[in-house]
Amino acid sequence: MKRILTVRRIVMMILFLLCITVVFGLRLVNIQIVNADKYLERAPSLYTRTQRITAARGEIFDRNGVPLAVNKIGYNLTINKAYLDTSSENEMILRLISLFRQSGEDWNDSLPISDSAPFEFLPDREKDISKLKKYLGVEQYTSVEDVIYWLRDLYDLEDFSDRDFRDVAGVRYEMALRDFSMKTPYTFATDISMDTVTKISENSLFLPGAVVEETTVREYVAGDVAPHIVGIIGPIYADDLENLSEDYSLDDYIGKLGIEKAYENELRGTPGETTIYLDSKGNVLNVEETVSPTPGNSVYLTIDVNHQRALQQALATQIAFLQSQEDADHGKDVTGGCAVVTDVKSGEVLAIANYPTFDLSTYYSDYATLITDPNSPYYNRALRGIYAPGSTYKPSVATAALSEKIISASTTINCTGRYTYFPVYQPTCMSVHRNINVINALRVSCNIFFYDIGRQLGIDRINSYSALFGLGQPTGIELPESAGRLAGPEYRKAQNLDWYSGDVLQAAIGQSDNAFTPIQLVNYAATLANDGKRMDLNIVKKISSYNGEQTVYEATPSVVVDFSDYGVDRSVFETVREGMVLATAGTAGAALKNYSIPIASKTGTPETGVSLNAVFICYAPADDPQIAICIVLENAGHGYNASQLARYFLDYYFYGIEIPTAEEVLSGK
């Protein structure tokens, strides 16, 4: 009987234990599988950390959808603190560098100290050297030897060889600059090859914390096309964050130039978020994407890639030709220049070329060399450069004189070669033109005629019409631009200088203190073409969602100023046009005389103090304008030296004639 009871108790105990096991098992399934997310959030022994997921950057296209700056799938190597063994951090970095060096890959390192001993501060890096010393907490006069000492001490690199020290210190310092933390992984290298990805995977056991991430990498499809306009992206450093919103991280890239910078808010997108779950010992238990990133919008420019290439080729060819000449009058001393083409009817910029130029695809590797080039390849002359307009300003003064009834189309002024109105100041003309009207004064660019009408108008009335043309003020284009300036008492007063009554004479021929940007001058030419309608100038045609399904913004042609609203009759512009058409066979005749379509143009040869620039504006066809062109060539001698460049582009635009290379022109082909 007792034996039966004992067996029964054992069976009941087994059943009880089985029930307990089943209950706990079901409970465990409920916690770990069914409601894992909920219990992860509640678990007191777990910790969570968040990391940002960078959104795909919006892309940049030309007006026809031809890609300029796009994203390609690539691989970055990041160091993630969640997986990093800090006790062997230096050794892991050293192994990683060794692997990259063997693969011929670059990694991020901006430490301003030479790569090998004896160590020296790098030249032309004063700002970075100052930042390094500030980071180390040492005085600005601290020697490189002392900086090396403190870097070894800070990063526990006392026992490392000089080479290993420099390698690891460069990465550790870069990590500090980029705020490396659990929240912010450090990007060790970008766009690495598949061969390197494979090697990292094979050695992953010895590289704790090193993570290969598939990401989007910025690619400049045609890096030499409109680089000043498209712009480029670059890394963010700690100092930059002060001026940025909280949405940015030191692991981000940001627009540094051009459209990439001007349209940063549209292009960058909205970052997502990853949540990392860790136990009390810091071991990663789970990783979950909790907020999905939203890609940025894409920007379509008004520029046409084909027009852009053609204008760049024309500019490079003409400068090379001028540099081959024997004297300054024929352009031998030309150092640089720019050209701009706009659509007269819409105000859209079709092409902007600067010379010398650069390639976005090699921007950072070329930077140290190009930044010291005295001819400033990175300078956007078309938008930022300000130049005396010279005689290209005369159509504006003619417009003012005709509108104010100072003259009519038939009024003549006697040009004797010297203007004698003022007893002391008596400037000259290049020729003796005798009795000449405004049409012929534009044709031969008679200074005496414009001295006289300029004096009668006075500087205030001259400037009021210049302002209607948009000269001496920003155009409003979507990229950074200079304002330029109008000559007059106001500007002189700001310079603590006097304005004299005779100064109006030089102002009236585009000299004195007048200085405008090429982008202003091309819009001025387009306004002349439009019979006084100044269009809103723009270089962004539209903005769309990343997938192109939704249009976020689309530019529409808009008139900013209409001269008719100020009582200016269309006949004024017809008279000026007649003079500019004759000027094409006159001062621009070497390149454009007897051209197959009528062209309205004006050359300018402004003095710069030490040399002469060549300035040229035109619009075509003169009887039904489609495009306007402005060209400025620095130190190129006479204005007619720019007219051949215009001829190249007009031949291409209207007749599809291929623009010759510099080699072809110089060889006589």
**Count of Cβ atoms closer than 10 Å to residue 637 Cβ:** 23
What is the mean pLDDT of the segment spanning 321-329?
91
What six digits make up the tokens of 69? 């700056």
Answer whether residue 380 shows pLDDT above 50.
yes
**Token pair 């390197």 in the structure block, residue:** 196
* More reliable by pLDDT, 194 or 50: 194
* More reliable by pLDDT, 271 or 466: 466
| Amino acid residing at 8 | R
Model confidence at 43, in pLDDT bands (50, 70, 90)? very low
Q: Mean pLDDT over all residues of the chain? A: 90
Tell me which of 26-30, 444-448, 593-597 is least confident. 26-30
Residue 196 pLDDT: 92
* More reliable by pLDDT, 60 or 33: 60
Answer whether residue 446 shows pLDDT above 90.
yes
Q: Rounded to 5 degrees, what angle do the CA atoms 426, 427, 431 make?
A: 125
Residue 27 pLDDT: 53
* More reliable by pLDDT, 235 or 100: 100
Per-residue pLDDT of 287-316, as tens digits, reads 777 777 889 999 999 999 999 999 999 999
Model confidence at 657, in pLDDT bands (50, 70, 90)? very high
Model confidence at 214, in pLDDT bands (50, 70, 90)? confident
User: Length of the chain, please?
Assistant: 669
Residue 24 pLDDT: 47
Percentage above 90 pLDDT, the chain: 72
In what helix (H) or strand (E) does residue 291 lie, and over which residues does it extend? strand 284-291
Alpha carbon distance 301, 88 (integer Å): 50
Tell me which of 53-67, 226-240, 412-426, 554-568 is least confident. 226-240
Answer whether residue 270 shows pLDDT above 70.
yes
Model confidence at 11, in pLDDT bands (50, 70, 90)? low
Residue 221 pLDDT: 93
The Cα-based distances of 502 to 122, 421, 489, 510 in angstroms read 53, 9, 12, 14
What is the mean pLDDT of the segment spanning 399-403?
98
Alpha carbon distance 177, 184 (integer Å): 12
The pTM of this model reads 0.84
What is the mean pLDDT of the segment spanning 25-41?
50
Answer whether residue 41 shows pLDDT above 60.
no
Of 211, 201, 212, give the one whose Cα is nearest residue 74: 212
Q: Are 252 and 267 in contact (CB under 8 A)?
A: no
Residue 365 pLDDT: 87
What is the mean pLDDT of the segment spanning 568-593?
93
Alpha carbon distance 484, 498 (integer Å): 20
Residue 343 pLDDT: 98
Alpha carbon distance 125, 203 (integer Å): 36
Per-residue pLDDT of 174-209, as tens digits, reads 999 888 888 788 899 988 998 998 999 889 889 998
Residue 31 pLDDT: 43
Answer whether residue 610 shows pLDDT above 50.
yes
Alpha carbon distance 212, 320 (integer Å): 47
What is the mean pLDDT of the segment spanning 352-361?
97
What is the mean pLDDT of the segment spanning 68-72?
94
Residue 44 pLDDT: 45
Residue 248 pLDDT: 81
Answer whether residue 26 shows pLDDT above 60.
no
In what helix (H) or strand (E) does residue 214 lie, and over which residues does it extend? strand 210-220
Alpha carbon distance 26, 128 (integer Å): 61
Percentage above 70 pLDDT, the chain: 91
Residue 6 pLDDT: 56
Residue 650 pLDDT: 98
What is the mean pLDDT of the segment spanning 571-576?
98
Model confidence at 81, in pLDDT bands (50, 70, 90)? confident
For the chain, give percent helix, strand, coil, nearest 5. 40, 20, 40
